[in-house]
Amino acid sequence: MRVDFHTHYIPRHFPDMAEKYGDLGWPTLLHTGLCQAEIYNAGKHYRSIDDRSWEPERRIKDMDAEGVDIQVLSPVPVTFAYRFSAHAVLELSQYQNDEIARAVRIAPERFIGLGTIPLQDPALASNEVRRVITELGLAGVEIGTAIEGKNLDDPALEPFWQTCEHVDAAIFVHPAAVLAPERTSKYRMLYSVGYTTETGIAAAAIVMSGLLDRHPKLRICFAHSGGTFPWLLPRLDQTWNVFDDVKAGTSRKPSETAKLLTYDTLTYDTNNVSFLIERVGVDRLVMGTDYPFPLREIPPGVVVNAVATLRSEEREAILGSNALRFLHRSGTSTIHQLTEESKP
């Protein structure tokens, strides 16, 4: 079984929120051909995409060619749109979530869906998480690393975490905005440095805040192997050891709590994957590629397959079964059952 945990999906007919609300800052999708489109954000060009981003049948062809059994579909992070009115973002989120559920229903044995939510309003976000799980049959939600400058340890988010724990929603943390974007605007450093730094901050905030002490049943996975976070664990441990105010936030050393989180393997390097295995364990890693974007790993799982020290059962776990376990999907029959039950 091969499960690509880290892929992105955007509806072909993405709503024109800029026209509806009179604000050109909204993310927009401009089709430039039958199979091509451009994403704009805040009035600037963000990314060129093609029909792999919205066409399930096209994705399945690639999956078959590359040996992927299941893709986990999550929104394009720029569409989180946390800076806009929460009620307007709820409308956009619900449209995207409905469309991801529709894609899953087309091929329930090949796709698992994650939704998006207006995280700037924890009450609205909590309601949509419930709908995503109980009505749409998706496995969880994808969220950003911060909400307009607020880290994920913000006390206002407690109702959201409580709801995720209560309805058993998996959480995929993926960066959308970064600190000091003006410093990563050249050399494509937004992708190489900005996103990984941002993800490291998000993971550290969750670990140091004691969130998993308060909500031990939460299932949280970080994109891009957790960014800088796994490599900073010795320094975080030392900070926890030295400063009482840091130790007051959590009963465990950061390196211990890190083993309660999950990480995709998108590091492009066998030494990095081996390091992650040593630091957090085989059972905490899931294969992810960033399909269908240019920086994706090709072919899926090539780095995991090249880690010589893995036993066959460990390799199989990272390539597939860990993801199904994390998402509480035992296999395609369970996926089919959930999506059948969620049909209108």
DSSP characters for 131-143?
A: HHHHTS---EEEE
The token duo for 206 is: 């969750």
User: Please, which pLDDT band fits residue 280 given cuts at 50, 70 and 90?
Assistant: very high
Closest CA to 104 of 140, 50, 67: 140
Residue 341 confidence class, pLDDT cut points 50, 70, 90: very low
Angle between helices 229-242 and 195-208 (to 10 degrees): 40
Q: What's the pLDDT at 331?
A: 60
CA pseudo-torsion sign 104, 110, 112, 113: negative
- Average of per-residue pLDDT across 107-117: 99
Q: At CA 281, angle to CA 241 and CA 215, rounded to 5?
A: 60
**pLDDT score of 54:** 98
Per-residue pLDDT at 339 exceeds 80? no
Q: Is the dihedral of CA 250, 80, 6, 111 positive or negative?
A: positive
pLDDT, residue 92, reads 98
Average pLDDT, the chain: 95
Each residue's pLDDT tens digit, 87-102: 999 999 999 999 999 9
Distance CA 134, CA 128 (A): 10
Q: What is the largest CA-CA distance in the chain?
A: 60
Would you say residue 27 has pLDDT above 60?
yes
pLDDT of 334: 39
Q: Please name the amino acid found at residue 68.
A: V
pLDDT digit string (tens) for 70-80?
999 999 999 99
Does residue 337 carry a pLDDT above 50? no
What pLDDT, in 10s, does the model give residues 322-333? Answer: 999 999 997 654
Phi, psi at 249, each rounded to 5°: -80, -25
* Alpha-carbon span 95 to 288, nearest angstrom: 25
Model confidence at 195, pLDDT cuts 50, 70, 90, reads very high
Q: Is the dihedral of CA 232, 188, 294, 30 positive or negative?
A: positive
What domains, with CATH codes, occur in the chain? 3-341 (3.20.20.140)
Tell me the β-bridge partners of 40: 28, 45
Q: What percent of the chain has pLDDT over 90?
A: 93
Tracing tokens 């209108």 back to the chain, one arrives at 344
Integer Cα distance of 248 and 106 in angstroms: 49
Residues 6+ apart with CB under 8 A from 188: none
pLDDT of residue 316 exceeding 90, the answer is: yes
The confidence score (pLDDT) of residue 24 equals 81
189 or 179, which is more confident? 189
Task: Provide the 10 A C-beta neighbour count for residue 186.
Answer: 8
Q: Is 295 exposed, middle or buried (0-12, 13-18, 19+ CB in 10 A)?
A: middle
